[in-house]
Each structure stands twice: as C-alpha cells, then as structure tokens.
C-alpha cells in the first residue's frame, strides 16, 4: 500500500471520527453532525463514484451497476440524525422505485445495524464494508454522519446532503439530477 493512499485513508478516518456538534444516544461514540447543507456539482466537474459492491447486512452480495441515478446514504444505528431520517429515506426509496438506494454502514456493529434496518423497514441494501467511503475522497466525501450522495445517470457524483435529509432536500436533488 502506498504511503499516499495510507495517508489519505487515515485522514479520512480522522475526519469522520472527529467530534463535532453532535452526540449519540450511548455517549460512547462521537461524530460530526452535518447541517443538512446541499452541495451540487456541475456536470463538467463530476467524477466517478467508487465501485459500490460487497456484502450487505442481510448477507447478500450486492453490486450497483454504475449506471442510472442512485442515492447512497452513509449511516450508523447509534446516530440520532440517522434514526430521524430513516423513515424519510424508506418512503422516498419507495416513491422513487426506479432509483436504487444504497446504504453504507459505518462504525457500527452488525447486530445493532440489523435491528435498526428492521425497525425502520429499510427496503434497500446496506453495504457493511465502510472502506468504500475512501473512494469518495476526491469527489464529495461523506464528511458527516449521516451523509447522502446522489449519483447521476452515468454513475458520477452529482451532489451531497451533509447531515440528515428532508423530504424536500432529497426530492429536490433527485429531481434535479434525474432531469438533466
């Protein structure tokens, strides 16, 4: 492994594990809490998303084709904003049934995450290998938990919501990217 890659990976991990304005229900974890801000990238400046594949919480091997608008949500069961946005994500994934929704679990244990997934009836797959997050480092990294990234029709990173999504914020981003 190159020194540069290791440095980038460690920097990303430190950034994700830093203590921001948020807290947790258990008091044992710390996270950066986003403010719900939306970042949109012009088409000419977009870069490819990393390969989104691997084992899911349900023990199924999943692979996103890399084509078509998609929503990628980074979450953890101990994250209060993640719990708050879960019903909205589940509802929007049903509303936009032609748009794949993909979860990425970060810094969590599978048992707690499985309980979270059942409680909120998340109808989309959640990848359990959060090393895929490193692949977003040159585009829109998941700089807060939760973070939601929207990919365009060509599998390029088009936008991010840093922090909990709302119906309006995610709907607006999906519609904007879908109508390009």
* Residue 34: DSSP 8-state: P
pLDDT for the residue numbered 167: 96
For the chain, the maximum distance between any two Cα atoms, rounded to a whole number of angstroms, is 44
- Tell me which residue of 56, 53, 52 sits closest to 113, measured CA to CA: 56
Task: Give, in words, the CATH class of 3-178.
Answer: alpha beta
**pLDDT > 70: percent of the chain:** 80
Mean pLDDT of 52-70: 93
Which one has a higher pLDDT value, 30 or 74?
Answer: 74
* Rounded-to-integer distance, Cα 29 and Cα 24, Å: 6
Of 22-26, 36-40, 112-116, 154-158, give the lowest mean pLDDT range: 22-26
Q: Across all residues in the chain, what is the average pLDDT?
A: 83
Please give the pLDDT value at position 7: 34
Is residue 6 predicted with pLDDT exceeding 80? Answer: no
Domain edges within the chain: 3-178
Beta bridge partners of 104: 74, 127
Closest to 102 in 3D by CA, of 128, 120, 77:
128
Among the ranges given (28-32, 67-71, 116-120), the one the predictor scored with the smallest mean pLDDT: 28-32
57 alpha carbon, distance to own chain's centre? 15
Q: Give which of 179, 152, 175 is closest to 46, Cα–Cα.
A: 152
What pLDDT is attached to residue 34?
A: 67
Scanning the chain, the segments in alpha helix (DSSP H) are: 3-17, 80-95, 110-119, 167-178
Q: Taking 80 as the threshold, does the pLDDT of residue 77 lie above it?
A: yes
Rg, C-alpha atoms of the chain: 15
Residue 105, φ and ψ in degrees, nearest 5 = -80, 135
Residue 169, pLDDT > 50, answer yes
- The pLDDT value recorded for residue 142 is 67
- Sorting pLDDT into bands at 50, 70 and 90, what band is 140? confident
7-60 pLDDT tens trace: 333 334 333 433 333 333 333 344 456 677 899 999 999 999 999 999 999 999
């Amino acid at each position: 492994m190159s020194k540069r890659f290791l440095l980038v990976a460690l920097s990303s991990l430190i950034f994700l594990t830093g203590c921001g304005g948020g807290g947790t229900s258990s008091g044992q974890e710390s996270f950066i809490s986003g403010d719900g801000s939306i970042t949109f990238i012009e088409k000419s400046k977009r870069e490819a998303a990393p390969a989104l594949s691997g084992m899911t919480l349900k023990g199924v091997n999943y692979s996103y084709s890399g084509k078509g608008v998609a929503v990628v949500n980074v979450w953890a069961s101990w994250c209060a904003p993640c719990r708050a946005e879960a019903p909205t994500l589940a509802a929007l994934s049903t509303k936009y049934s032609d748009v794949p929704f993909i979860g990425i679990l970060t810094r969590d244990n599978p048992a707690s995450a499985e309980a979270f997934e059942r409680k909120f009836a998340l109808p989309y797959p959640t990848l359990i290998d959060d090393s895929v997050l490193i692949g977003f480092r040159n585009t829109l990294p998941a700089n807060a938990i939760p973070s939601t990234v929207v990919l365009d029709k060509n599998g390029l990173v088009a936008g991010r919501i840093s922090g909990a999504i709302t119906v309006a914020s995610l709907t607006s981003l999906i519609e904007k990217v879908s109508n390009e």
